[in-house]
């Protein structure tokens, strides 16, 4: 029997480097519609039991837009933007009755396609992993967290660029920030997160340290096209995403 699926879309951030800093980042248009719409369209194709959108900065604009869409969505507020771990923690009450797998998507990653997301979920369900990470291999991994694997292909650790050894820096497989978790193993480790980092935030990636310390299996699936996991943080990245969407529509 297939495990039920819940989807959490992280969409609470402010687009500090975008052309209109007064607009929630995920509301900036790509190809004629807000980038979050592509993520919501993808979510609906995966037949989730529930889809939650974590809203935050200038949330009224985003909530109003989401109310015009046909997909059934539930908004969860992150009143303070204290990081991705904190954002996911805000969904715990809404998922109290849910048992199954939780797919975490980023509202500012609009190029991910259904086949890749389905492969991620499918691999997770056929493994014994408590979490499965979507990764990609890139020519220049500078600045990204590296995926360090065991000999049997599971994840040994995620190491941030600034903490990587010379050998680890040579690894070109990077973390996308898109994950599937077994709900039963997720929220307790999140509650144990600390924000002793430069940003003063609760990072979702830190839960993997807990998983691996407890010898819980963590798997990874590599996206065939690294462009799919591109996050949009500024106007240049927005333009590149526009070009990729145009190329896709032309094929």
Q: What is the pLDDT of residue 46?
A: 96
pLDDT band of residue 219 (cuts 50, 70, 90) is: very high
- pLDDT at 198 > cutoff 80: no
Beta strands in the chain (DSSP E): 5-10, 29-30, 33-34, 50-55, 74-77, 101-106, 131-137, 146-149, 155-159, 173-182, 218-222
Burial of 163 (0-12, 13-18, 19+ CB in 10 A): exposed
Cβ contacts of residue 44 below 8 Å, gap of 6+? 51, 71
Query: Would you call 248 a catalytic residue per the annotation?
Result: no
User: What's the helix, strand, coil split of the chain in %, to 5?
Assistant: 35, 25, 40
- pLDDT at 41 > cutoff 80: yes
Q: What is the pLDDT of residue 146?
A: 92
Q: In this predicted model, what pLDDT tens digit does every residue of 152-194 receive, in sequence order?
A: 888 988 888 888 899 999 999 999 999 999 999 999 999 998 8
Mean pLDDT lowest among 115-119, 127-131, 191-195: 191-195
Q: Which of 17, 125, 149, 195 is catalytic?
A: 17
Instruction: Tell me the two tokens of residue 231.
Output: 């996050």
Q: Are strands 50-55 and 5-10 parallel, antiparallel or unpaired?
A: parallel
Please state the domain extents for the chain: 5-135+177-233
Cβ contacts of residue 221 below 8 Å, gap of 6+? 119, 120, 123, 124, 132, 133, 134, 135
Instruction: Tell me the two tokens of residue 32.
Output: 């004629």
Mean pLDDT of the region 131-138: 96
What is the CATH number that goes with domain 5-135+177-233?
3.90.550.10
Q: What is the pLDDT of residue 182?
A: 97
Positive/negative CA dihedral, 227, 62, 67, 84: positive
Instruction: Tell me the two tokens of residue 125.
Output: 């369900």
Q: What is the pLDDT of residue 49?
A: 96
- The reported pTM is 0.93
Mean pLDDT of the region 125-133: 94
* CA atoms of 46 and 62, how far apart (whole Å): 22
Residue 106 sits at the vertex; the CA angle it makes with 103 and 139, to the nearest 5 degrees, is 105
Instruction: Tell me the two tokens of residue 129.
Output: 């992993």
pLDDT band of residue 118 (cuts 50, 70, 90) is: very high
Q: Please state, for a pLDDT cut of 90, what percent of the chain lies above it.
A: 66
pLDDT band of residue 1 (cuts 50, 70, 90) is: low
Mean pLDDT of the region 22-27: 90
Listed residue (123, 224, 234, 120) closest to 177, CA to CA: 120
Q: What is the pLDDT of residue 147?
A: 94
Place of tokens 């819940």: 6
């Amino acid at each position: 029997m297939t495990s039920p699926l819940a989807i959490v879309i992280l969409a609470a951030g402010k687009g500090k480097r975008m052309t209109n800093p007064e607009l929630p980042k995920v509301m900036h248009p790509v190809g004629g519609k807000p980038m979050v719409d592509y993520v919501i369209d993808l979510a609906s194709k995966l037949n989730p039991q529930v889809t939650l959108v974590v809203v935050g900065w200038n949330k009224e604009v985003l909530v109003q837009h989401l109310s015009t869409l046909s997909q059934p969505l539930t908004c969860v507020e992150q009143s303070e933007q204290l990081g991705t771990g904190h954002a996911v923690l805000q969904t715990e009450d809404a998922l109290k009755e849910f048992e199954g797998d939780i797919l975490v998507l980023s509202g500012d990653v609009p190029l991910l396609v259904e086949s890749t997301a389905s492969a991620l979920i499918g691999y997770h369900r056929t493994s014994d992993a408590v979490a499965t990470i979507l990764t990609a291999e890139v020519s220049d991994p500078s600045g990204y967290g590296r995926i360090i694997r065991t000999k049997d292909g599971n994840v040994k650790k995620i190491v941030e660029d600034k903490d990587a050894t010379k050998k680890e820096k040579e690894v070109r497989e990077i973390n996308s920030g898109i994950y599937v978790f077994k709900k039963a193993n997720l929220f307790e480790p999140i509650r144990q997160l600390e924000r002793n980092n430069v940003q003063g935030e609760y990072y979702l990636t830190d839960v993997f340290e807990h998983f691996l310390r407890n010898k819980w299996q963590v798997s990874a699936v590599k996206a065939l096209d690294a462009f799919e996991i591109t996050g949009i943080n500024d106007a240049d990245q927005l333009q590149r995403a526009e070009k990729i969407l145009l190329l896709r529509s032309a094929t």
